[in-house]
Structure 1
């Protein structure tokens, strides 16, 4: 291996906070990090930054790993090219800021238009978002420094902008434990072995049916579900954004979910050919996965949108 690859491995190990998971041989680690570096540089050839600076940035943001979790698998779950761009922006590299403006911030007005806020407010939100994400302050680094590569950068930027829109609406933040009861109540109860087997065996069919069911939703319904399920906005926050009361938001969400559920149920019953009793058991086993799959599918939409 080259001297550069050895230096990258040493930098990574020095800053990975001990969250390495399954030990990786030095030669394999060097090769892996060199491939990561080559891949991210290929995505942003106009953005020049020292390799060691990015590898340190990456290492400091690696999530904790299980004892048997391989580093390569964990890296595959990150949006490394977007993490590279974010790192370069935080470092104040001009070409990175230009790319971030062009590929991300320029899309915010269109992405926030459905919030039904005045155009002037949307413009203010976009400007404030840019400042918050890119500008160093006496208090610390730009907000973009907090992006870890887990999830779409475009979605992450949108969430920041939505939070700023809430503040500009003059809405007080919800209490920290708001929604905790609903979350606890939605957790699946311990199931028996038979239900677990049904869930595992039909997981792919269930996910595909939800994906297809989403095609019957309007764009507005998709946006609403994204804000609530992915961005985790409360009823209070959604009501302020859409300028309606909470009961209206609740009705919209219930209608959208019911549409997806009914369409998912229709497609699954035809596809799996289960008896009515088996089908009800199947739905019971799948119910706890419903929100998770919605969140994942919406996240995939964000990933496709940034390409």
Structure 2
């Protein structure tokens, strides 16, 4: 067996899951070098050497059985955002400035709603900044908890929402008001061969129609959907955040969902020219796939800002 090179050694020493030392250390080393180079390319102003990044990455690798290949695990992670988080934990000024510009500066718009006073949003943003970036007597800054699985912006937003909830004095509602189950139980008929055929044949039309219907939502409705579908906040948390009861949140979600459903239905019926019988069957597919497509659109919006030139304006 070859001598294990330096980055591979750092990775194996810090990985919380047990990796079998690679027989081809040079290939393992090359994979880690490529991960570092790919991550730092997004933030060229941040000077973070390979070895501390690889050690930081190793501590956050998803749990896996020994002898699992590393490359698929790395593919599951947002390496560029993990690189920035690692640099922030180490207090690198350029990283802290970029985190402020690309993430914290976007929080007011992400949190704003008719139910949230601007003064409270300002307070939340300040608390988020301190909580995420400032070490405490008990340990490092909270950004060290970001594992690279999922978008960093979504992680920051969830942190902010939970802080906002704590700032609000809301009585815990009675158990019968919890309507999570009601919303989750919206009809989703089981698939059959006919529906699978319709779904495959008109997959592109379906995605386009939902996208067009989704574009008609208000900013408040998008904000609500993002918190529910992407950040997976519960009805109780949403009710506390917006200072309403859970039945109101449920009604908001159902109303917005119904708008997308009906607009998608209208566009599809006009576009596909299906017979009434075929279209009735297709509605079952629409109902079962709609929420998945909404989640995909919201995640795409979250990921879009990092697709531009590195270190550019948000």
Same fold (TM over 0.5): yes
1:232 match: 232
Deviation at 1:95?
A: 2.3
Deviation at 1:105?
A: 1.2
2:113 match: 114
TM-score, normalised to structure 1, is 0.82
Query: What is the DSSP-based 3-state SS (H/G/I as helix, E as strand, rest coil) of the residue aligned with 1:274?
Result: coil
Whether 2:258 is the aligned partner of 1:258: answer yes
Going from structure 1 to structure 2, the CA distance change for 1:16 and 1:191 (only over 3 Å counts) comes to farther
Deviation at 1:125?
A: 0.8
Q: Say if 1:19 and 1:63, in contact at 8 Å, map to a contact too.
A: no
2:143 match: 144
Give the stretch that moved more between structures: 76-85 or 127-136.
76-85
Give the stretch that moved more between structures: 261-270 or 61-70.
61-70
Whether 2:132 is the aligned partner of 1:133: answer yes
Structure with greater proportional helix content: 1
Whole-angstrom distance in 1 between the partners of 2:256 and 2:216 = 10
1:105 match: 104
2:223 match: 223
Going from structure 1 to structure 2, the CA distance change for 1:67 and 1:257 (only over 3 Å counts) comes to farther
Going from structure 1 to structure 2, the CA distance change for 1:189 and 1:221 (only over 3 Å counts) comes to closer
Q: Say if 2:179 and 2:235, in contact at 8 Å, map to a contact too.
A: no
Whole-angstrom distance in 1 between the partners of 2:45 and 2:188 = 48
1:87 match: 86
Give the stretch that moved more between structures: 53-62 or 237-246.
237-246
Whole-angstrom distance in 1 between the partners of 2:67 and 2:132 = 35
1:163 match: 162
1:102-159 residue CA offsets vs partner (Å, 9 max, x unmatched): 2211222232222632222212111111121112223333221121222221222111
- Cα RMSD, aligned residues only: 3.5
2:294 match: 294
Going from structure 1 to structure 2, the CA distance change for 1:224 and 1:205 (only over 3 Å counts) comes to same
2:61 match: 62
Whole-angstrom distance in 2 between the partners of 1:284 and 1:65 = 37
Q: Say if 2:179 and 2:250, in contact at 8 Å, map to a contact too.
A: no
Runs of at least 5 residues in structure 2 that lack an aligned partner in the other structure? 309-314
Q: Say if 2:82 and 2:146, in contact at 8 Å, map to a contact too.
A: yes
Deviation at 1:96?
A: 1.6
Deviation at 1:291?
A: 1.5
2:30 match: 31
Map 1:235-250; keep pairs closer than 5 Å: 235-250=235-250
1:11-53 residue CA offsets vs partner (Å, 9 max, x unmatched): 3344445588xx9964443333222211222222222222122
Deviation at 1:260?
A: 0.8
1:241-298 residue CA offsets vs partner (Å, 9 max, x unmatched): 3334444333322221111111222222333343322233233234333222211211
Whole-angstrom distance in 2 between the partners of 1:44 and 1:174 = 45
Q: Say if 2:88 and 2:133, in contact at 8 Å, map to a contact too.
A: yes
Q: Say if 1:15 and 1:56, in contact at 8 Å, map to a contact too.
A: yes
Whole-angstrom distance in 1 between the partners of 2:59 and 2:272 = 46
Query: What is the DSSP-based 3-state SS (H/G/I as helix, E as strand, rest coil) of the residue aligned with 1:114?
Result: coil
Deviation at 1:218?
A: 1.4
Going from structure 1 to structure 2, the CA distance change for 1:249 and 1:188 (only over 3 Å counts) comes to closer
Deviation at 1:100?
A: 1.3
Deviation at 1:174?
A: 8.4
Going from structure 1 to structure 2, the CA distance change for 1:29 and 1:200 (only over 3 Å counts) comes to farther
2:312 match: none
